[in-house]
Amino acid sequence: MTPEKILEDIYSKRVKKVIVDSDTYNEMDDQYAIAYAIASDKMEVLALNAAPFHNDRSRDFGDGMEKSYEEILRVLEHIGKTGQYPVFKGSRTRISDDPELRPVDSPAARNIIKLAHETDEIIYILALGAITNVVSAALIDPSICDRICVVWLGGHCFDFRDLGEFNLAQDYAAGQLLLNLDVPLIMLPACDHGTKVLQVRLPDMQEIKGDSPAAVFFRETLPEEFNGDYYENGWERVIWDIAAPGAVAVPEGYSFSVIPAPVFGDNWQYAFDRTRRKIIFMEKVDRDTVIRDAFACLSSL
């Protein structure tokens, strides 16, 4: 499907089938994104995948995936959806770790393939972390590439000097492969005028209304768990992962352009070639549109 057809579909009123692929334990933003996708009437969540990560919240790549899997289950419990959505474990190693860049087989990758073949509708994969699971699925079965569209929060805006963005850096070779695959892609870059605008402070959290367990969890519990960031005006965090479900739920809040796919160079810098296949690139996102819609959806749980 061409980028133009993808954009036409994104802006349509059709309810979109989605898979959420998330390094959920890495930060607090994935939890909001998962619940947003589930609560929105613009999406039908088919499955939730645990993506791997490695930082100070995990021992290694595989441990990050395991912790993300458990965190997905915790989110489902807090929103009263335990057992209502299939949850799959993802990759334990990086494609980057293999000299031959072979796919990493996993239940998550196999389920992406299975679901892609079970419907005639395009499936939007909301990829919120390392792209290992998704690229592995496409490498294992290239025939799914015309059945899915990847909405990936990955990479920086083009004016950045390097490509040290967290999600891309977690499995750099997988990111390189993604841009080379013939799979529809909506790229949501992380930078000051990109998804980083989705910052929230404690007063913003009061816009999550109600006394349901879900509302209390997202308004009070999660912010308290991540209470280490203080700025001149108090607690503040970026919940940029909500940009992925937001692109499906409120595309009118985004500015997209169709461009030749950039290259993630081996020197960790962008390169450009006008002859490359086309992707959809997010130029900017309206913070208030996305946060308003996300918090209204969370209030409905």
Whether the Cβ atoms of residue 236 and residue 45 lie closer than 8 Å to each other:
no
- Tokens for 112? 């992406």
DSSP state of 116: H
Cα–Cα distance for residue pair 19/86, rounded to 1 Å: 10
Of 83, 235, 243, 109, the residue nearest 171 (C-alpha): 109
pLDDT of residue 54: 98
- Alpha carbon of 9 to those of 5, 16, 131, 159, 280: distances in Å? 6, 9, 23, 29, 13
pLDDT of residue 160: 87
Domains and CATH numbers, the chain: 3-199+241-286 (3.90.245.10)
- Alpha carbon of 25 to those of 18, 129, 257: distances in Å? 20, 11, 32
pLDDT of residue 228: 62
Cα–Cα distance for residue pair 112/88, rounded to 1 Å: 10
Ordered DSSP codes for 214-243: HHHIIIIIHHHHT---EETTEEEEE-GGGH
pLDDT of residue 227: 79
Cα–Cα distance for residue pair 257/3, rounded to 1 Å: 9
Q: What is the mean pLDDT of each run of 10 residues along the chain (301 residues)?
A: 97 98 97 98 98 97 98 98 98 98 98 98 98 98 98 94 94 98 97 91 95 97 82 81 98 98 97 97 97 98 97
